Structure 1
Amino acid sequence: MRAKIVFASMTGNDEDMAEILEEDLLDQGLEVDSSDVSFTDANDYLDSDLCVFITYTYGEGAMTDEIADFYDQLKELDLTGKSFAVMGSGDKTYKEHYCENVFDFEKAFLACGAKELIPPLTVENAPDDDDIARIDQAAEELADKLNG
């Protein structure tokens, strides 16, 4: 099984999440490719069984240009038969906009026909030990459902 992780990271928090998830999925026996959204085309998901997008939400839910470009590309794909998961970080001081982009991508993947394997995983700011444990658990669950 092949997994493609695409991450968008302004402060490094989401890149950290991507690295943790990549290591976990490798430990679960998956073939994993990770890349920064700025250097990735959404079509790269077509070669994978599991599509993962990890993003931050800037301010009050605005997508930065590189995230918006990828989002527009993603919405054009047919991902029927693919599985997906979304994760990301945010700041709860933005209340209803907390991790808004994570949920925007969840809707986009569903509209493309992909199957959601786990609920969105959100982290406030940088992942702490509890968040790392949740990412570890998510990877195990993803692998079980893919191999299942």
Structure 2
Amino acid sequence: MKALVVYATITGNNEEIANIIVDALRAKNVEVVKSEMSQTDVSEFEDVDICVVCAYTYDEGALPEEGLDFYEELQTSDLKGKTFGVAGSGDVFYGDDFNKAVDEFEAAFKKTGATQGSSSVKIDLEPYEEDIETLQGFVSELIKTTSSKTV
């Protein structure tokens, strides 16, 4: 089983989230690559079983500027047969716009025909112990969903 974890970060929080996900995947013997969103082509998702995006929400609900092309390309991709998951860090200060990028990337993945492997994870600022446990559960669900499709 192979996974690609793509992240965008300003503060380092989303890279930390990506690292937690990568470590959890590797602990379950998944071959995984981590890549920064602006350096990644959406077509790289075609070569893996599990597709993960970790994105921050900028200002009042904006997607990461360096990830806009990636987001646009994702919406028109065909990822049928793939499992996806989305996680991200945001700031509850922004109220209704808290972690809006997570919702936007989830909706984009759904347009690709990929299967959502776990509920999306929204973290307030940096990940703490309870968030790490949530992310480990997120990974377990992604693997379980992917395994059930290949049986």
TM-score norm. by structure 2 comes to 0.94
Q: Give the structure 2 partner of residue 91 of structure 1.
A: 91
What's 2:37 paired with? Answer: 37
Equivalents in 2 of 1:141, 1:57: separation in Å? 24
Equivalent residue pairs, number: 148
How far residue 101 of structure 1 moved from its aligned partner, in angstroms, is: 0.5
Gaps of 5+ in 2: none
Which stretch shifts more, 59-68 or 85-94?
59-68
Query: 1:61 aligns to what?
Result: 61
Q: Can you list the C-alpha shifts for 1:42-92, whole angstroms capped at 9, x where unaligned?
A: 111111111100000001111232111110111121111111000001111
Question: Are the equivalent residues in 1 in contact too, given 2:57–2:90 (CA < 8 A)?
Answer: yes
1:80-121 C-alpha deviation (Å, 9 max, x unpaired): 111100000111111110000100000000011110011110
Provide the rounded CA distance (Å) in 1 between the counterparts of 2:14 and 2:66.
15
Distance 1:83 1:143 in 2: 9
1:107 aligns with 2:99: no
In 1, the alpha carbon distance for the partners of 2:141 and 2:118 equals 8
- Unaligned 5+ runs, structure 1: none
| TM-score under structure 1 length normalisation | 0.96
Letter of the aligned partner of 2:113 in structure 1?
Answer: G
| Match in the other structure for 1:132 | 132
Partners of 2:56 and 2:64 within 8 A in 1: no
Moved beyond 2 Å, runs of 4+: none
Task: Tell me by how many angstroms 1:144 deviates.
Answer: 2.2
CA drift of 1:147 comes to: 2.0
Query: 1:133 Cα shift?
Result: 1.0
Amino acid at match of 1:56: Y
Identity of matched residues, %? 37
